[in-house]
Amino acid sequence: MEAAVLLETDADWDKMVDEIWVTVSSEATVIRRMKDQRGMTEEQTKARIHAQMSNEEKIKRASVVIHNEGDIEHVKREVKKHWDELQSGSVDKSHR
């Protein structure tokens, strides 16, 4: 399920899942990526960012947070690390 649907609706769907994984990036990183990948202006990108749930709120509701400031290989390593922790049973779920 897409995190935006899971977290940004009033349906309490987050209660139906065991884990919520989110990625977060700084505003500067998002602006740069949207310009490079989609040709969006800084103003267009900021409007999208501010229409969405904040990183802070996503982090509060997440089981796992992937910081997406680096390249795709960094993200893959982070995902694998957290996946391996989940599979081994070493994840502390007391924060949920």
- Kindly report the three-state secondary structure assignment for every residue of the chain: CCHHHHHCCCCCHHHHCCCCEEEECCHHHHHHHHHHHHCCCHHHHHHHHHHCCCHHHHHHHCCEEEECCCCHHHHHHHHHHHHHHHHHCCCCCCCC
What pLDDT score was predicted for residue 1?
65
Instruction: Compute φ and ψ for 17, nearest 5 degrees.
Output: -120, 155
What pLDDT score was predicted for residue 15?
76
pLDDT band per the 50, 70, 90 thresholds, residue 6: confident
Query: What pTM, to 2 d.p., does this model score?
Result: 0.77
Count of beta carbons in the 10 Å neighbourhood of residue 37:
8
Domains and CATH numbers, the chain: 3-88 (3.40.50.300)
Among 21, 44, 33, 41, CA closest to 72: 33
What pLDDT score was predicted for residue 93?
54
What pLDDT score was predicted for residue 3?
64
